[in-house]
Amino acid sequence: MAHSAATASDDASPIAAALPEGKDAKAFHRMVFIGIAVALAVLPLILYPVFLMKVLCFALFALAFNLLLGYGGLLSFGHAAYFGMASYISAYGAKHWGLTPELAILAGTLTAALLGLVFGALAIRRQGIYFSMITLALAQMVFFFSLQAKFTGGEDGIQAVPRGHLFGVISLADDRVLYALVALIFFAGLLLIYRIIHSPFGQVLKAIRDNEPRAISLGYRANQYKLAVFVLSTTLAGVAGATKAIVFQLASLTDVHWSMSGEVVLMTLVGGMGTVFGPILGSFVIIAMENYLAQFGAWVTIIQGVVFVVCVLLFREGIVGLFARLLKKPL
Amino acid sequence: MLKRLLLAGAAGALMTAAAQAQTPVKIGVLNDRSGVYADISGEGSVVAARMAVEDFKAAEKGLKVEIVSADHQNKPDVGASLARQWYDRDGVDVILDVPTSSVALAISQVTREKNKAFVNSGAGTADLTGAQCSPNTVHWTYDTVALANGTGGAMVKRGGNTWFFLTADYAFGQALQRDTTAVVTKNGGKVVGSVKTPFPTADFSSFLLQAQGSGAKVIGLANAGGDTINAIKQAAEFGITEGGQAIAGLLVFSSDVHSLTPKVAQGLVLTEPFYWDLNDATRAFSDRFAKTFNGKKPTAVQAGVYGGVIHYLKAVEALKSAKDGGQVIAKMKELPTDDPLFGKGTIRPDGRKIHDMYLFEVKKPGESKDPWDLYKTLATIPGNEAFRPMSEGGCPLVGKS
Amino acid sequence: MTMIFGVPMQALFGQLLLGLINGSFYAILSLGLAIIFGLLNIINFTHGAQYMMGAFVAWMLLNYAGIGYWWALLLAPLAVGLFGVIMERLLIARLYKLDHLYGLLLTFGLALIIQGLFRNEYGVSGLPYAIPSELSGGQRLPFMFLPNYRGWVVVASLVVCLATWLVIEKTKLGAYLRAATENPTLVQAFGVNVPLLLTLTYGFGVALAAFAGVLAAPVYSVNPNMGADIIIVVFAVVVIGGMGSILGSIITGFTLGLIEGLTKVFYPEASSTVIFVIMVLVLLVKPAGLFGRTA
């Protein structure tokens, strides 16, 4: 594995790896969490809640992806598969089985977890770019399946998914109520990911990412750890996809297409790979761009391309990575 | 005294003008501006909408019209969230165009939920006025059933009674094949085979070879955009038409044929509701359109946006308000339609706009005088025969009325 | 007539031949991609856009300068190759010391920009480009009608692929290239200008893509999105062949064309997915691709 062994690790997360995390950092992170919680409460007063819900779903998706890339050192090119399949199952469950929203989301999430377990077991056997290509290929098969299977409704997707009543009681028809639920899911997901990263499990992951042979020689079963983080990542991506289906009352081929896998890479890159909070900001920026640039028509993709190029050339550590360096604190 | 009277008169005139300018209307043109349907709809549809507002003399009639536009990238979720934002936040009253069936169906639902108005021009799915019809939606320009009726029926009558389909492996491709098959068999023809092609596909030679091998007299192209163009281009290369087989395009627009050139597309038979060179009114409009739009002639979809805006404004003018989308659509159905591009017509209770369709054949290079001189008219299909009868659509609205 | 799985033998021959023709495009494109990866360690996602540019430059030469197909076959690759050289000098050269990921993201961004600009200028319906008169018409083979142009595509691509392979394997320049792939520092120490070598290699790889674009112009729709769909497939071809393996990419390109051709007969819907199935299987059995070396 001459060149491919130099995985995303060395360059991907220079900040997170370089800075020691002391008590100081923990206190700082607590502040950041409080800041995010306040922002979640205040933002819907200023910004359009549906837009915010979209941002939160994608932010969770990007966080899940970043867990795998930034902390596992594994670049998946096929994360759309888990996001999209979860979205399909959640939409189908809510519409045709009459599941309540929380059960529909759960069903979608479980699907993504199972899919992640199977695909992960295959993919982690290879490293570097080959790992990425296997995940891409498997995701292409999921796309093909989604196109062929009857229940997905072809390119029309599953439409008119009912938002339903949470626990069969609370109606989600009002955007504000739904927003509260989505914000809650997002925040829980963020806390979970933060816990994972800072747990002993997370430490071992980072050790494997930085030097796999050494970790193995220390007695860690690298592959089990990799599979575990893979499944965690796909599960959380599934939560994001399943929630999105309820928010937009729609699941479609867009969610399983490879460009969706590319989009989540972009969000993570812009925000800052290997930073805890980067993907949140990254997805905010990208979704805001898509939303507010839509009126410029064909220029959207050009502007996206320019953002890619600028990010790669000028600030590879991403927006949050840049902040982290300026503040001299891991974020 | 006289002076005071004059002043009072002037003030009164001013006041009525001010009172008249009180009906604000915000039109959103939502379509594909970067993908496969960008040339069929895209910026041209916005140009058409703007021309419609001018021609309607909206300002003189007391309507303050504003037009916004956006790119839905052919993604239903992008389209649906843009529509929500337009309705909730930006005060948009009506959405127009929306090619791509999946996006159109999503927009139709959002529109109904918010009780706004949706006048579709770009999408093909007949479900918009069938099982998924809505009291807030009008389907203006065409649908897959009408295209199948036109092309399928006409080809069989001209002797093309055996068919082979190249079908895009997407719901719209299968709908086109299904609808055309029904027409072909009804007219006594037979479908001898079909092949599902991945969408998009660049190389059709293999599928064309299968079509050739089937011996069918007609090869039906149940696909769209770049796929149709590739298929026709390669059919010419493989000498399909010289071998005696005819090609029938089931979803082809004048911009596609323009891109192919008559040299490659000659003899192709297709159905469209509009062509720039139909009559004096369409020619006059198209010349004006071309002047503001890089010399391009309008497509049927863009023409549909024009017609849709005119009729929508007519309904708003009658109601003096655009706020209740359901009411405006009901008014649109009540009023007879009349515009320079589609002539006189009606809108059925299920939301289907009725006008004539035309069966065209692409001219031979010798007959075509300039790059936009593309079609000769084979037949005019009267509106009442062109579209699916309301009773067969299964629209729940129809049962009630 | 002999039948194979319900398909007449003769039809099968036709399909295989067509598969081979499609494989020609894959072969040239993946060859360029493999050379660039082998030497620069850059996954050139702009390859599809550069293929598209080749076709567009051919169209421009014809419509703005009256220069026909045969000259375009030479000039378009040169022009696009030059563009590649500039791209490499200005942008890509900054990324050599970094992980693959950054090169991939940069070139992906560039592809979006290039495709977007062409789309704004020329729309999406595509532009007409006629088959050169020398190659119009076709041969009636016992099992199918073969347009002359398709025959030419196979011949041209075989010649180009073989010539490239010979240059890399049998000449001194090729020896430098291979040596620089193995150990750039050492080659630099021997006095070879490695940065220049890298630039020229990138330019050549890009020129190959443009050459494929010109070849494609008369038969495929010349539109700004034409490279966006093919790039993922070509990417897969390179991976299956073994990243950076020259011979591997050529052989795999043609082979996968054949396999895809067969799929189009037996399970047409899956013909664009079959390549990915093969990729997973190959990578699971041979971790570095069919012709790649595991270090």
Average pLDDT per consecutive 10 residues, chain B (401 residues; last block may be shorter)? 51 50 89 88 95 94 93 89 92 95 93 96 93 95 93 91 94 91 94 92 90 92 91 91 90 93 92 96 96 94 97 95 95 95 95 95 93 94 92 84 46
Chain A contact set for C277 (CB, 8 A): 137, 141
**CA-to-CA distance for C207 and B119, rounded, in angstroms?**
47
Chain B interface mutation, best of C21, C221, C225, C259, highest count of B Cβ atoms under 10 Å: C221
| A8 in contact with C, Cβ within 8 Å | yes
Domain B23-142+279-354: state its class. Answer: alpha beta
**Residue found under tokens 């948009």:** B92
Chain A contact set for B73 (CB, 8 A): 300
Helical segments of C91-193, H only: 100-122, 148-170, 172-182, 184-189
Record: contact C225-B35, CB cut-off 8 A: yes
**CA-to-CA distance for C256 and B142, rounded, in angstroms?**
40
Query: Residue B343: what are its φ and ψ, rounded to 5°?
Result: 70, -155
**CA-to-CA distance for A84 and A188, rounded, in angstroms?**
21
Average pLDDT along chain A: 88
| B45 in contact with A, Cβ within 8 Å | no
Q: Which residue of C has its CA nearest to A299?
A: C116
**CA-to-CA distance for B195 and C269, rounded, in angstroms?**
8
Q: Which residues pair with B381 in a beta bridge?
A: B357
CB-based burial of residue B9 (10 Å sphere; 0-12 exposed, 13-18 middle, 19+ buried)?
Answer: exposed
Neighbouring residues of B304: CB distance < 8 A, sequence distance ≥ 6: B97, B121, B122, B140, B141, B142, B273, B274, B342
pLDDT attached to residue A8: 38
Which of C94, C116, C243 lies closest to A305 in CB terms?
C116
C-alpha dihedral over A100, A102, A108, A112, to 10 degrees?
A: -170
**CA-to-CA distance for C275 and C233, rounded, in angstroms?**
7
Inside any domain, residue C122 = no
pLDDT attached to residue B194: 95
| B90 in contact with A, Cβ within 8 Å | no
Q: Which residue of A has its CA nearest to C244?
A: A3
pLDDT attached to residue C295: 46
Q: Which residue of C has its CA nearest to A307?
A: C109
Record: contact B229-C11, CB cut-off 8 A: no
pLDDT of C99 > 70? The answer is: yes
Beta strands in C125-283 (DSSP E): 138-140, 145-147
Record: contact C270-A309, CB cut-off 8 A: no
Record: contact C110-A305, CB cut-off 8 A: yes
Residue C168 is part of which domain span? 17-112+143-285
Inside any domain, residue A94 = yes
**CA-to-CA distance for B320 and B328, rounded, in angstroms?**
10
Q: Which residue of A has its CA nearest to B31?
A: A297
Chain C adjacent subunits, 3+ CB pairs under 8 A: A, B
Record: contact B255-C125, CB cut-off 8 A: yes
- Kindly report, residue by residue over A143-171, the tens digit of the pLDDT: 999 999 989 888 888 988 988 888 888 88
End-to-end CA distance of chain B: 60
pLDDT attached to residue A316: 84
Which of C98, C239, C276 lies closest to A140 in CB terms?
C276
| B73 in contact with C, Cβ within 8 Å | no
Q: Which residues pair with B353 in a beta bridge?
A: B347
CB crowding A10-46: b at 16 or more within 10 Å, else e: ebbbbbbeeeeeeeeeeebbeeebeebeeebeebbee
Inside any domain, residue A196 = yes
Which of A154, A252, A298 lies closest to B33 in CB terms?
A298
Record: contact B229-C125, CB cut-off 8 A: yes
- Specify which of A255-264, B26-35, C72-81, C89-98 reaches the highest per-range mean pLDDT: C72-81
Task: Give the Cα-Cα-Cα angle B118, B120, B125 (nearest 5 degrees).
Answer: 120
**Residue found under tokens 């050289």:** C85
- Find residues 99-128 of chain C whose CB sits inside 8 Å of chain B: 116, 119, 123-128
Say how many CB pairs under 8 Å bridge A and C.
Answer: 121
Chain C contact set for B213 (CB, 8 A): 8, 11
Distance from CA of A145 to the nearest CA of B (A): 12
**CA-to-CA distance for A204 and A212, rounded, in angstroms?**
10
Chain B interface mutation, best of C125, C146, C220, C225, highest count of B Cβ atoms under 10 Å: C125
Inside any domain, residue C29 = yes
Record: contact B71-A297, CB cut-off 8 A: yes
| A140 in contact with C, Cβ within 8 Å | yes
Which of A128, A137, A313 lies closest to C279 in CB terms?
A137
Number of domains in chain C: 1
**CA-to-CA distance for C50 and C203, rounded, in angstroms?**
11
- Kindly report, residue by residue over C162-217, the tens digit of the pLDDT: 999 999 889 998 888 888 877 888 888 888 888 899 999 999 999 999 999 999 99
pLDDT attached to residue B350: 95
What is the token pair recorded at C197?
Answer: 């070598």
User: Contacts from C88-91 at CB under 8 Å and sequence distance 24+?
Assistant: C88/C40, C88/C198, C88/C199, C88/C202, C88/C203, C89/C199, C91/A309, C91/A313
- Find residues 2-61 of chain C whose CB sits inside 8 Å of chain A: 41, 43
Chain A interface mutation, best of B32, B81, B84, highest count of A Cβ atoms under 10 Å: B81
CATH fold of B145-272+356-385 reads: Rossmann fold (3.40.50)
Per domain, the residue ranges of chain B are: 23-142+279-354, 145-272+356-385
Chain C interface mutation, best of B194, B209, B227, B242, highest count of C Cβ atoms under 10 Å: B209
Is B219 in contact with B247 (CB distance < 8 Å)? yes
pLDDT of A10 > 80? The answer is: no
Which of B33, B43, B84 lies closest to A50 in CB terms?
B84
Q: What number is the average pLDDT over the span A241-265?
A: 92
What is the token pair recorded at C129?
Answer: 């480009």
pLDDT grade for C104, boundaries at 50, 70 and 90: confident
Neighbouring residues of B253: CB distance < 8 A, sequence distance ≥ 6: B40, B272, B299, B300, B301
| B82 in contact with A, Cβ within 8 Å | yes
* DSSP line for C86-100: HHHHHTGGGGTTS-H
Chain A contact set for C102 (CB, 8 A): 11, 312, 316
Record: contact C276-A126, CB cut-off 8 A: no
pLDDT attached to residue A314: 87
Chain C contact set for B195 (CB, 8 A): 268
Neighbouring residues of C48: CB distance < 8 A, sequence distance ≥ 6: C111, C209, C226, C227, C228, C229, C230, C231, C234
pLDDT of A13 > 70? The answer is: no
Q: Which of A54-68, A284-298, B252-266, B329-343 has the lowest average pLDDT?
A: A284-298
pLDDT attached to residue A291: 80
Record: contact B38-A153, CB cut-off 8 A: no
Inside any domain, residue C69 = yes
CATH at A203 = 1.10.3470
Which of B70, B76, B172 lies closest to A295 in CB terms?
B70
Residue A115 is part of which domain span? 14-327
| B208 in contact with C, Cβ within 8 Å | no
- Kindly report, residue by residue over C107-120, the tens digit of the pLDDT: 999 999 999 999 88
| C273 in contact with A, Cβ within 8 Å | yes
- Kindly report, residue by residue over C245-254, the tens digit of the pLDDT: 889 999 999 9
pLDDT attached to residue C106: 92
| C90 in contact with A, Cβ within 8 Å | no
**CA-to-CA distance for B260 and B235, rounded, in angstroms?**
12
Per-residue CA distances from B194 to A219, B69, B197 (Å): 59, 39, 10
What DSSP designation does A331 have? -
Inside any domain, residue A27 = yes
| A47 in contact with C, Cβ within 8 Å | no
* DSSP line for A62-91: HHHHHIIIIIT----S-THHHHHHHHHHHH
Record: contact A313-C106, CB cut-off 8 A: yes
Inside any domain, residue A95 = yes
The domains spanning B23-142+279-354 and B145-272+356-385 adopt the same CATH topology: yes
| C78 in contact with A, Cβ within 8 Å | no
3-state helix/strand/coil string of B23-70: EEEEEEEEECCCCCCCCCCHHHHHHHHHHHHHHCCCCCCCEEEEEEEE
**CA-to-CA distance for A186 and A178, rounded, in angstroms?**
12
**CA-to-CA distance for A274 and A9, rounded, in angstroms?**
9
Record: contact B259-C14, CB cut-off 8 A: no
SS3 C292: coil
Inside any domain, residue A8 = no
Is B128 in contact with B105 (CB distance < 8 Å)? yes
| Closest residue by Cα to residue B201 from C15, C126, C220 | C220
pLDDT attached to residue C7: 67
Record: contact C109-A128, CB cut-off 8 A: no
Return the percent helix, strand and coil in chain C, to nearest 5.
Answer: 75, 5, 20
Number of domains in chain A: 1
Which of C150, C220, C268 lies closest to B207 in CB terms?
C268
**Residue found under tokens 């369709």:** B357
What DSSP designation does B149 have? I
Query: Residue A97: what are its φ and ψ, rounded to 5°?
Result: -95, -5
* DSSP line for C15-39: HHHHHHHHHHHHHHHHHHHHHHHHH
pLDDT grade for A16, boundaries at 50, 70 and 90: very low
| B193 in contact with C, Cβ within 8 Å | no
Longest dimension (CA), chain A: 58
| C188 in contact with B, Cβ within 8 Å | no
Length of chain B: 401
| B299 in contact with C, Cβ within 8 Å | no
Q: What number is the average pLDDT over the span C75-82?
A: 97
Task: Report ipTM (2 d.p.).
Answer: 0.86
